[in-house]
Amino acid sequence: MVENSNPILAITAEIESNQESGTDIGMFTIKSANRTITDAALRPNPRSLYLEFWYEGEVCCLFSDSNLGKSIYAVQMADQIATTRRVLLVDCELTDKQFQMRYTDSDTGIIHMFPEGLFRAEINPVTLDVNDYEEKIIKNIEAVALRMQTSIIIIDNLTYLCNSSDKGVDAGLFMMKLMNLKKKYGWSLLIIAHTPKRNLSSPITQNDLAGSKKLYNFFDSVFAIGKSAKDDRLRYVKQLKVRAGEFLYDSNNIIVYEIEKSSAFVHFEFKEYSTEKEHLRERTESDDQKQLKHIKELKAQGKSVREIASLVGLSKSKVWRLLQTQTNEESPETTQEPTPVP
């Protein structure tokens, strides 16, 4: 047989000769685009685990400000999923007593009965070792999930597991380890995260997630809980990132809930669909001044207009106008025409 001297044709022939598994080169498995599609088409499409927020095989993120009920909503999701699937809840927020009291009727003493398929894990403080903490906790989550034979894992929360979750680089490295579990076993993971204190006059954006862009990019899907400015008892849930499902619950179609406790089960009770704008507080002059101050601080840090716009959730032209107006106010004698934003 005559050896092919063209390296590209030789690689192509090698890939085509191994149609099932493709060709491994270092860290990568290579297939033709057509073979990739036909192979993937043989596997079932991922099913929804909870509404359009979280699908099988996804690493999903739920985030909100403190005390808005993200742990309550996560347990509500787990309660529903566990009626048909085994679910592991890694609870780093509550002690077993706090968990029991939350799901007990204080008047009658009746406790909420969860599905038998829901398992809860909390860290045993006796075994806590700060050396290589993050690496060890990932391995322990892997061991528990394998032992409990579950492929659906909810981790509450990222801040506890990753001490530098607010730093994009460190959080990104931690997320890569979680992504490896997804790829290795086909697991579905929901990660609970937090956001710094938000201004209720601003819509929820990806920039509200602690760790911001670098962390956000790792997730397959992201949704968030916001507090309604209309009523302190109301919460709303909004989709921010979708891959497998539909983008149904954006700013024009949020889900509005009220946190209630009935029959010992504290949960989000559905109220209506609405627009996010209806649940935002009207902006004040103080809000505008705080925003301008933030923009000026970012500019002083050397951020470009484009970067600032992404971080504060405004258009480039809006950021440029705010900066230019501020410059003119500080130097009224300046008459030079501004350079348009690229």
Nearest partner of 189 among 163, 159, 157, judged by Cα? 157
Q: Global pTM?
A: 0.77
| Range list of H helices, 48-155 | 70-81, 96-102, 133-148
Determine the length of the chain. Answer: 342
On the CB side of 306, how many CA atoms lie within 13 Å of its CA? Answer: 3
Angle, helices 305-312/316-330, rounded to nearest 10 degrees: 110
**179-234 pLDDT tens trace:** 899 999 999 999 998 887 777 888 999 888 866 567 888 899 999 999 999 898 99
Nearest partner of 288 among 253, 317, 326, 262, judged by Cα? 326
Quote the pLDDT of residue 198. Answer: 76
Kindly report the backbone phi and psi dihedral angles of residue 16, in degrees, each rounded to the nearest multiple of 5, phi listed first. Answer: -65, -25
Radius of gyration of the chain (CA): 24
What is the homologous superfamily of the domain 48-279 according to CATH? P-loop containing nucleotide triphosphate hydrolases (3.40.50.300)
**63-120 pLDDT tens trace:** 999 999 999 999 999 999 999 999 999 999 999 999 999 999 999 999 999 999 999 9
Residue 168 has pLDDT above 80, yes or no: no
242-268 in b/e form (b: 16+ CB < 10 A) is bebbeeebebeebbbbeeebeebbbbb
| Separation of alpha carbons 205 and 53, rounded Å | 16
Residue intervals in the chain for CATH 3.40.50.300? 48-279
**255-298 pLDDT tens trace:** 999 999 988 999 999 999 999 999 998 766 776 787 788 888 88
User: 209, 172 in Cβ contact below 8 A?
Assistant: no
| Range list of H helices, 122-260 | 133-148, 158-161, 168-185, 212-216
Residue 342 has pLDDT above 60, yes or no: no
- The correct CATH number of 285-330 out of 3.30.70, 1.10.287, 2.60.40, 1.10.10 is 1.10.10
On the CB side of 22, how many CA atoms lie within 13 Å of its CA? Answer: 17
Residue intervals in the chain for CATH 1.10.10? 285-330
What's the chain's average pLDDT? 85
- What is the percentage of the chain residues whose pLDDT exceeds 90? 49
What DSSP character marks residue 151? S
